[in-house]
Structure 1
Amino acid sequence: MNLTGKIAILTGVSKGIGRATAEALLAKGAIVAGWGRSAPEGLQHERFQFFECDVRDEVAVQEAYVNTRRELGAEIHVLVNNAGLGISGEVDGFSSDDWKLMFDTNVHGMFFCTKAVLPQMKQQQEGHIINISSIAGTTGIEKMAGYCATKFAVRGFSQSLYKEVRNDGIKVTCFYPGSTQTNFFDDIPGTEANDSMMRPEDIADTIIYALETPFNFHLVDIEMRPCSRKNK
């Protein structure tokens, strides 16, 4: 897909991978609708517009979708489901509220946003949905059972969806990033973001690569990991 002039919806736009992806899309000429609870600081661009939206709320998602089409245009070409969070803890002491919060954000939010854009993408017979899972969506991690459960759900949803919509000209790609320098680790005891991790820009650049694939194929699953655990 040539991204010039294409409308892209991006959730979780304020920081990290979301912010980097917004900047990468803008650099390719896309029109970006950033959805989130807070706007990215300092991101000013004539082709960027922020829409306040809590993806956990289906009504808020529908309102953001209607507002996006009214302000930017009816056709929606790209959806990047990036909004998410991780909370660690042992299962027998884990907060049920935190468990629900992760599922509401990481899984239900992805579903609400995808459900909103699909009718238009099917009508135009073109679209690309990017879902951000995690390495935690491919393997279990001690004290991260809840987060892993949500990211396994993203994986299953993505792999099912691409088979469902591939004949409608819609691509679905699921990303599984490993350790990345974002604020994700702020709430994970014992781990801090460091220079041996991937950068948000690395993920963003690969998202662009996936979006720019020719019409006749798409990348279904992309796993990304740091090259080395040690700085050189």
Structure 2
Amino acid sequence: MRKTLKHVVITGAGSGLGASLARKYNKEGCHVSLLGRDHEKLEETAASFENSNYSIFTLDISSAEEVEKVFEKIVQEVQPIDRLINNAGVGYFERAEDLTASQIDEMIDINLKGTIFCTQAVLVSMKEADVGSIINVISTAGIEGKVTESGYCASKFGVRGFTESLVKELEETNIHINAVYMGGMDTPFWGEPEQENKNNGLMHPDDIADIIYENTKTRSNMNISDIIIKNH
């Protein structure tokens, strides 16, 4: 049975920005579907919600087959997807010559291919309905190269190219595409030492979630395609 609430699907919702976004959309009255590989972390995010309008689905977005099956299940058990937020990501920060093959594979598989697979899973239905929203959380690593981030930047530059192409492919539709390029955030992504350092200069994910929410609202005759948020 279709619910009356807007349905927002968020990947990587078990911690960091994904969890902050999930809390924001839940607070604003949406039904939020939390996606991630760790069911326990997704439960922890849901435990912080103000209401019970949520669903949890474990998913490895690097598997095209698993993405297809889980997204079909999401629509069947909840309702059609109004907004997809591709937030899940992983990074390994070494000099280019020190990156291992498995590290490179994981960054490309999750950051780039995972974003493509999840987007493909919603595009057909969104195009048929001529409505919907896709937000790709990319990072400033998608607009400039950085020391010890060559592999990470490569994956994020790929997401940027994919997103910019989506904008062109869908410019005659009512589907909104947004790219978010943000600097470092105070999340587990950077490890405990950085989080424990109160002068780390990292932004709070709740602030980023607020900015994303406000700047990606569906507005008539307007779409903010690129959102760039940098540290001081």
TM-score by length of 2: 0.90
Corresponding position of 2:207: 202
1:70 and 2:53 matched: no
Corresponding position of 2:131: 126
Corresponding position of 2:189: 184
For residues 143-154 of structure 1, the aligned pairs below 5 Å read 143-154=148-159
Contact 1:12 1:83 in 2 (8 A): yes
Q: Which amino acid aligns with 2:14?
A: S
Contact 2:67 2:118 in 1 (8 A): yes
Corresponding position of 2:120: 115
Please state how far the C-alpha of 1:20 moved relative to its aligned partner: 0.4
Rounded to whole Å, the distance in 2 between the matches of 1:153 and 1:24 is 28
TM-score by length of 1: 0.90
Deviations 1:83-107 (A, max 9, x none): 0011011122210111011000000
Rounded to whole Å, the distance in 1 between the matches of 2:140 and 2:168 is 22
1:100 and 2:105 matched: yes
Contact 2:10 2:87 in 1 (8 A): yes
1:22 and 2:25 matched: no
Rounded to whole Å, the distance in 1 between the matches of 2:210 and 2:70 is 26
Contact 1:171 1:218 in 2 (8 A): yes
Corresponding position of 2:60: 54
Q: Which amino acid aligns with 1:154?
A: V
**Unaligned regions of 5+ residues in structure 2, if any?**
none
Q: Which amino acid aligns with 1:61?
A: V
Report runs of 4+ in structure 1 exceeding 4 Å deviation: none
Of 165, 174, 195, 1:169 maps to 174
Rounded to whole Å, the distance in 2 between the matches of 1:192 and 1:61 is 32
Please state how far the C-alpha of 1:62 moved relative to its aligned partner: 0.9
Please state how far the C-alpha of 1:42 moved relative to its aligned partner: 5.1
Contact 2:19 2:45 in 1 (8 A): no
Q: Which amino acid aligns with 2:74?
A: T
Contact 1:55 1:61 in 2 (8 A): yes
What secondary structure sits across from 1:79 in the alignment? strand
What secondary structure sits across from 1:43 in the alignment? helix
Please state how far the C-alpha of 1:143 moved relative to its aligned partner: 1.2
What secondary structure sits across from 1:166 in the alignment? coil
Rounded to whole Å, the distance in 1 between the matches of 2:121 and 2:20 is 24
Please state how far the C-alpha of 1:49 moved relative to its aligned partner: 0.6
1:43 and 2:37 matched: no
Deviations 1:28-83 (A, max 9, x none): 1111111111132151442111101000011111111111111111x211000000
Rounded to whole Å, the distance in 1 between the matches of 2:210 and 2:202 is 15
Corresponding position of 1:6: 6
What secondary structure sits across from 2:56 in the alignment? strand
